[in-house]
Chains A and B, each alone.
Chain A
Amino acid sequence: MSGFALRLSRALPATAGVRFLASTAVAMKKSTTFRSVLNVEPVHNVPDFSKFDPIYDDITENSSVIELWKKQKASEIGGDATTASNLDALVRSEHNVFETPDDFLIKYPKRPPGKEMQSAVEGEMFWSEELLIPYEQFKKLSKKTLVVKRTVQMTRKGKIPSMYALVVVGNGMGSAGYGEGKSAEASKAVMIATRQAIKHMQNFPRYDNRTIYHDIEHKFKATKLQLWARRPGFGCRVAPMIHEICECIGIQDLAGKIHGSRNPMNVIKAFFEALTTQRIPSDLAKARGLRLLDVNHIYYGGIKPTPLSARK
Chain B
Amino acid sequence: MVKIHDICSRVQNGFRARLGRIALPETKLNLSVARVLYNQGFVSSVTRGTHLGPDESYTPTTNLNVAERRLWLSLKYYQDQPVLRGMRCVSKPSRKINCNANQLKILASGQPWGIVKGIIPGEIMIVSTTRGILEIQDAVKLGLGGMLLARAN
Contact = CB atoms under 8 A, between A and B. Distances in A.
Interface of A: 213-215, 279, 281, 283-284, 286-290, 292
Contacts of B42: 288
A279 B78 CA distance: 12
B152 to A, nearest CB: 11
A149 B141 CA distance: 57
Contact of A288 (B41, B79, B81, B120): B41
Q: Interface centre among B76, B83, B122, by most A CB within 10 Å? A: B122
A290 B37 CA distance: 12
A227 to B, nearest CB: 11
B86 to A, nearest CB: 10
Interface of B: 40-42, 76, 78-79, 81, 83, 85, 117, 120-122
A289 B41 contact: yes
A214 B121 contact: yes
Given A214-B120, A290-B40, A283 B83 contact: no
B122 A214 contact: yes
Nearest to B77: A287
B79 A287 contact: yes
Nearest to A228: B120
Contacts of B40: 288, 290
Contacts of B122: 214, 279, 281, 284, 292
Contact of B78 (A214, A286, A292): A286
A292 B40 CA distance: 11
Contacts of A292: 121-122
Nearest to B81: A287
A286 B41 CA distance: 10
Contacts of A286: 78
A287 B83 contact: yes
By Cβ-Cβ distance, the 7 closest A-B pairs, closest first, are A288-B41, A287-B78, A214-B120, A284-B122, A289-B41, A287-B83, A214-B121
Nearest to B118: A215
Contact of A287 (B76, B117, B121): B76
Contacts of B121: 213-214, 279, 281, 284, 292
Contacts of A288: 40-42, 76, 83
A287 B77 CA distance: 7
A54 B81 CA distance: 53
Nearest to A294: B121
Given A215-B120, A283-B78, A284-B121, 8 more contacts: A214-B120, A279-B85, A281-B122, A283-B79, A284-B122, A287-B78, A288-B42, A288-B83
A211 B41 CA distance: 27
A209 to B, nearest CB: 16
B120 A290 contact: no
A283 B85 CA distance: 14
A283 B77 CA distance: 12
A67 B41 CA distance: 73
A129 B120 CA distance: 43
Contacts of A284: 121-122
Contacts of B81: 287
A154 to B, nearest CB: 43
A287 B122 CA distance: 11
